Structure 1
Amino acid sequence: MKRQDVKGQVAIVTGASSGVGWQSAVRLAEAGVRLCVTARTAQALERLRDEVLQRGGECLVVPGDVTVQEDVERVVRECLAHYGRVDVLVNNAGVQSYGLFDALPWEHITRVLDVNCLGFMRFARGVLPHFRRQGRGHVLNVQSMLSRGGAPLLSAYTASKHATLGWAKALRLELEGTGIEVSNILVPSVDTNMFAHAPTLLSRAPAPVPPTYDVDVVARSVVAAVRRPGRTRVPVFLQGRLILALDAVAPWVGQFLLGHFGARMQQRDEPVERREGNLFQPMTRSYGPHGPVPPTPRWKRYSATAGLAALAGGVVLGVAGLARAAR
């Protein structure tokens, strides 16, 4: 795909009140993209607009909930009225709920699926008629490494991400030849406020599966995807391309590690009582790109990379040796 000039394009960014959405909006504005940002928390969006304006960008704020069809239609309508066009949809809004599957309240499960999966679909249906009339457009889905894997305590979130990636693949096939592109970004654990917002049935605060990356890694990948659409991007190596490769040759490694230690990995030594979190009402006390768990130091990531790479190499050599012995 030829590199596109993104300056002057118009992008709707959902879930822009914190984390990946916030930082992606900032990076897109720096690249010259005109923004329409949406989330449930108007105050946070106003602060984001202030930052974008300080950096010389353009930003329209339209609060809304991705689970409410009228809100979705209003965001698209106001963006078109303000800018006269939409070029990119950055589907990013997402929620989690921590707990064992059979202990999660059913309304938590359905809400996670509604936000993470149906929310993406609602916004895509909202912009696709305009994209078709325009003869071009781009649906960019901020996915997760859990779109291809799994983690304990996050069954509903994992299900929503698998479903959304499958939908995106089918949508891309349907749009072949129309000039409308579909891209996906498989996001690793990043330092967002999701871990300060997510409800949990446990007694300790949620934490990302280590290692944790700076949210700007994903934001830069979003900009790269807007410039070169139509791909599924994996922006990091250790908790990205290496994990996918290792899972292909030795899936038992991830099964063992997450099966035995995954639940403990996802809890901080900090007591918490947060059974509802931001599932049904936004939490306004925290906003911005970064969250309560800082990025893992590089030396730790490099050490883990070397260890996993050695393990993967040993597995490949072992499989090759068995194949030779069988001949």
Structure 2
Amino acid sequence: MKHLNGSNRPLRPVVVVTGASSGIGRGVARALAARGADVVLAARTERTLTAVARECERRGGRALVVPTDVGDEAAVQALVRRAVERFGRVDAWVNAAAVWSYGLFEDTPGPVFRQIVDTTLFGQVHAARAVLPQFRSQGRGVLVNVGSLYGRLSSPYVAPYATAKWGLLGFSEVLRQELRDAPGIAVCTVLPGAVDTPIYRHAANYTGHRIRPLPPVTSPERVVAAVVRAVDRPRREIVVGRTQRVGVWVDRLAPGLYDRLVGPVVNTFAVQGALVPPHDGTVFVPDPLPGTVDDGWRRHDHRLVGGALTATAGLAALAIVVRALGRRR
């Protein structure tokens, strides 16, 4: 994304990144800074954001730290104002803030469910409400919503997160339809599968057991690259993670089969044997420790990946058989 000033010199892109303290958001901020962008960093913890700002500045970008709880609409409005006051405009906005829980719906406390939806869905709604008037005044802008393949399918234990991501996918589609009168404004949705980020370690957990991402786990760098591509060359939707896309395909071909088998697959590969007492993770309070982009899951996945790939291939084959038998009847 390049714009020219009055001297026909390229302007540094100005990009707001929410969820910038760790995971995909942190990776996106660093990647954009390395390309010379001015980045506005938003998350709940100022100390962690300050560390990210130093990383971005070492890579050649300028950084503005704005501690923000995206579930607070007034705070998100203030975030836009701070960005415009400092840099004069907002060229792109990346919505990467999210919190997560693992547990049966009936075991998940109501306040936790609400907080996850407030952050993961309404945080992005608040961002759109805040930045779209700025985009309209400029005549251009790119809004990138980091969704999930949980916006296309579901599994046990993730009711609030799946609710938020399904809602985000529909919200993004409505925005695209309503912004047809503003061809300079783009709304992009990036849909990754399981990604090697700290969100699983930070997740609230009511399963009674240790949890991990469902293998094979995608590197955060692949998702970061997809987000940066969306900022540069907006596309309606970008899916990241080939293996996880098989689950979407199976769900469409044989939804009954998917419903029967997804639980055993998740219990085998994502819910581990170690006992863990129930806890709220970082749903309400951010992690006081320094954030990271990845969390090391891929370095220990070799044994599980083979089993997960075999299970995925089996699901796909069964779906084809079920679909073929259904057509013969």
TM-score scaled to structure 2, two decimals? 0.89
**For structure 1, which runs of at least 5 residues remain unmatched after alignment?**
none
In structure 2, the residue matched to 1:79 is 83
In structure 1, the residue matched to 2:294 is 290
- Mapped to 2, the partners of 1:43 and 1:75 lie a distance apart of 17
Contact 1:89 1:138 in 2 (8 A): yes
Alignment length (residue pairs): 321
- Mapped to 1, the partners of 2:167 and 2:326 lie a distance apart of 36
- Mapped to 2, the partners of 1:61 and 1:246 lie a distance apart of 43
In structure 1, the residue matched to 2:8 is none
Asked if 1:208 is matched to 2:204, the reply is no
Cα 1:13–1:214 shift into 2, 3 Å? same
Mapping 1:21-100, distance limit 5 Å: 21-100=25-104
User: Alpha-carbon deviation of 1:148?
Assistant: 0.8
Cα 1:318–1:198 shift into 2, 3 Å? closer
Cα 1:237–1:122 shift into 2, 3 Å? same
| Cα RMSD (Å) | 2.5
Contact 2:215 2:304 in 1 (8 A): no
Percent identity between matched residues is 33
Asked if 1:123 is matched to 2:127, the reply is yes
Asked if 1:187 is matched to 2:159, the reply is no
Describe the superposition over 1:182-229 as per-residue Cα deviations: whole angstroms up to 9, x where unpaired: 100111111111112111123323211222121111101101111221
- Mapped to 1, the partners of 2:25 and 2:150 lie a distance apart of 18
**Residue 230 of structure 1, aligned match among 231, 235, 249:** 235
- Aligned amino acid, residue 223 of structure 2: V
- Aligned amino acid, residue 203 of structure 1: G
Q: Which is worse superposed, 229-238 or 216-225?
A: 229-238
User: Alpha-carbon deviation of 1:50?
Assistant: 1.2
Q: Which is worse superposed, 296-305 or 189-198?
A: 296-305
User: Alpha-carbon deviation of 1:8?
Assistant: 1.9
User: Alpha-carbon deviation of 1:97?
Assistant: 1.7
- Aligned amino acid, residue 21 of structure 1: G
- Aligned amino acid, residue 138 of structure 1: V
Q: Which has the bigger relative contact order, CA under 8 A and spacing at least 6?
A: 1
In structure 1, the residue matched to 2:7 is none
